[in-house]
Structure 1
Amino acid sequence: MFAQQRTKIVLQTSDQMIVDNKTQITRLQRPIFEHDGAILTCDSARLWSELNYFEAFGNVHIRQDTVNIFSDKLNYDGNAKMAHLMNNVRMSDPSTTLTTNIFDYNMASRVGTYVDNGKIVNKENNVTVTSKRGYYLASTKDAYFRYNVVVVTEQVTIKSDTLRYNTFTNQTYFYGPTNIKGKDDNLYTENGEYNTKTEKAFFGKKNLYTQDTKSLKGDSLYYDGKRGYGKAVKNIIFVDTKDKLELRGQLGEYFKIDERIKVQINAYVGLGTADSVTVNDKLVPDSLWLGADILEAQMTLQKTLKLIEKPTVLADDEIGVEEEKPNTEETPAGKPALDTALPKKTPVVTPKATTKPSRKDRRNGKVVKPTSTPDSTAVIPPIDSLKSVPDSIDLKPKSIIKNDSLAKDTLIKSQKTLAKDSVKAVPKTSTKKDSVVTAKKLPPAPFNPADTVRTRTISAYHNVRVFKTNLQAKSDSLFFTAADSTLRLYRDPILWSDSSQQTGDTIHVQFKNKKINSAQVLQNGFIVDQETDTTKFNQVKGKLITAFFDNGEIRDMYVDGNAESISYDKKSDGKYQQNQTVSARIKISFADKDISQIKIVKGIEGTFSSPEKATKDAILTGFIWKPELRPKSKNDIINNPSGKTPVKPKVNKVKPKVAPKTNATKTPAKTAPPAKKPRETI
Structure 2
Amino acid sequence: MHGRGCKRPRSRWIALRLVLPALLLAGGFALAQEGGDQIQVEILYAKSMRPLEKEGQSIHRLLGEVALSHDSAVMHCDSAYVYPETNSFEAFGNVRVRSRQFRLWGSAMHYDGNSGQGHVTGKIVKLHDSVDKTTLYSDALYFTTQRNLVWYSTWGHLLTDQSDIRSRRGSYDADRDLVTVSDSVLYRSEEVTAVGDSLQYAQSLERIYFWGPTRVYTDESMGYGQKGWYDRNAGHGILEGQVAVDQGKGRIYADWAFFDRSKDFVEAKGQVVAVDSMENYRLYAGHARFWNSPRRMIAQEQPMIWAVDTSSAKRDTLYLRADRFVGWQEPAKGPAPRPNDSVYLGRAEGSIRAFRQDLQLVADTAFYNGQDSTVIAWREPFPYVWSKQLQVSSRLITAHLSEGLDSMHFQDKVLVAQEGDSIHYDQMSGKDMWAYLHEGEMQRVEVKGEGKVIFFMTDEEEVIAVNRIESPHFILHMKEQEAERITFYDNPHSLVTPIQDTQTEDRELFGFKWHGDDLRPHGPRDIIPPWLKDLEFYIPLARQATRYRAADRKLLERARRDPRIPE
TM-score, length-scaled by structure 1 = 0.65
Distance 1:106 1:133 in 2: 16
Distance 2:461 2:320 in 1: 44
- Partner in structure 2 of residue 509 of structure 1: 399
- Partner in structure 2 of residue 334 of structure 1: none
- Partner in structure 2 of residue 191 of structure 1: 227
- Partner in structure 2 of residue 287 of structure 1: 317
One-letter amino acid of the structure 2 residue matched with residue 521 of structure 1: F
- Partner in structure 2 of residue 400 of structure 1: none
- Partner in structure 2 of residue 228 of structure 1: 264
- Partner in structure 1 of residue 357 of structure 2: 469
- Partner in structure 1 of residue 127 of structure 2: 90
Distance 1:528 1:603 in 2: 23
Deviation at 1:464, TM superposition (A): 1.1
1:7–1:79 CA contact under 8 A, matched in 2:
no
CA 1:113–1:259: 2 relative to 1, 3 Å: same
Deviation at 1:575, TM superposition (A): 2.9
2:77–2:91 CA contact under 8 A, matched in 1:
no
Equivalent residue runs for 1:415-426 within 5 Å? none
One-letter amino acid of the structure 2 residue matched with residue 517 of structure 1: D
- Partner in structure 2 of residue 639 of structure 1: 529
One-letter amino acid of the structure 2 residue matched with residue 99 of structure 1: Y
- Partner in structure 2 of residue 519 of structure 1: 408
One-letter amino acid of the structure 1 residue matched with residue 521 of structure 2: P
For residue 49 of structure 1, the aligned residue among 58, 83, 86 is 83
Equivalent residue runs for 1:382-461 within 5 Å? 450-461=338-349
- Partner in structure 1 of residue 187 of structure 2: 151
- Partner in structure 1 of residue 209 of structure 2: 173
> Per-residue CA shift, 1:379-427, capped at 9, x if unaligned?
xxxxxxxxxxxxxxxxxxxxxxxxxxxxxxxxxxxxxxxxxxxxxxxxx
2:149–2:173 CA contact under 8 A, matched in 1:
yes
1:9–1:78 CA contact under 8 A, matched in 2:
no
- Partner in structure 1 of residue 555 of structure 2: none
For residue 62 of structure 2, the aligned residue among 9, 21, 27 is 27
Deviation at 1:521, TM superposition (A): 0.6
CA 1:630–1:19: 2 relative to 1, 3 Å: same
CA 1:599–1:274: 2 relative to 1, 3 Å: same
1:145–1:164 CA contact under 8 A, matched in 2:
yes
- Partner in structure 1 of residue 111 of structure 2: 76
One-letter amino acid of the structure 2 residue matched with residue 501 of structure 1: Q
Question: What count of residue pairs does the alignment treat as equivalent?
Answer: 483
1:62–1:70 CA contact under 8 A, matched in 2:
no
Distance 2:274 2:106 in 1: 52
CA 1:562–1:19: 2 relative to 1, 3 Å: same
Distance 1:573 1:550 in 2: 30
Distance 2:90 2:396 in 1: 89
For residue 597 of structure 1, the aligned residue among 474, 481, 485 is 485
Matched, 1:212 2:226: no
- Partner in structure 2 of residue 266 of structure 1: 302
Distance 1:135 1:487 in 2: 59
For residue 151 of structure 2, the aligned residue among 103, 113, 123 is 113
2:325–2:349 CA contact under 8 A, matched in 1:
yes
SS of match in other structure, 1:190: strand
1:103–1:114 CA contact under 8 A, matched in 2:
yes
1:522–1:543 CA contact under 8 A, matched in 2:
yes
One-letter amino acid of the structure 2 residue matched with residue 555 of structure 1: Q
SS of match in other structure, 2:212: coil
1:83–1:107 CA contact under 8 A, matched in 2:
no
- Partner in structure 2 of residue 122 of structure 1: 160
- Partner in structure 1 of residue 535 of structure 2: none
One-letter amino acid of the structure 1 residue matched with residue 420 of structure 2: E
The percentage of aligned residue pairs carrying the same residue is: 18
Deviation at 1:9, TM superposition (A): 7.9
Q: Would you identify which runs of 4 or more consecutive aligned residues in structure 1 move more than 6 Å?
A: 4-9
1:518–1:548 CA contact under 8 A, matched in 2:
yes
For residue 514 of structure 2, the aligned residue among 625, 636, 639 is 625
Deviation at 1:85, TM superposition (A): 3.9
Distance 2:338 2:319 in 1: 30
- Partner in structure 2 of residue 99 of structure 1: 137
Distance 1:242 1:626 in 2: 36
1:292–1:465 CA contact under 8 A, matched in 2:
yes
One-letter amino acid of the structure 2 residue matched with residue 47 of structure 1: Y
Distance 2:497 2:306 in 1: 47
Matched, 1:58 2:88: no
For residue 299 of structure 1, the aligned residue among 324, 329, 339 is 329
CA 1:260–1:271: 2 relative to 1, 3 Å: same
SS of match in other structure, 1:109: coil
CA 1:40–1:54: 2 relative to 1, 3 Å: farther
TM-score, length-scaled by structure 2 = 0.78
Q: Higher strand proportion, which one?
A: 2
Distance 1:598 1:121 in 2: 81
For residue 141 of structure 1, the aligned residue among 163, 173, 177 is 177
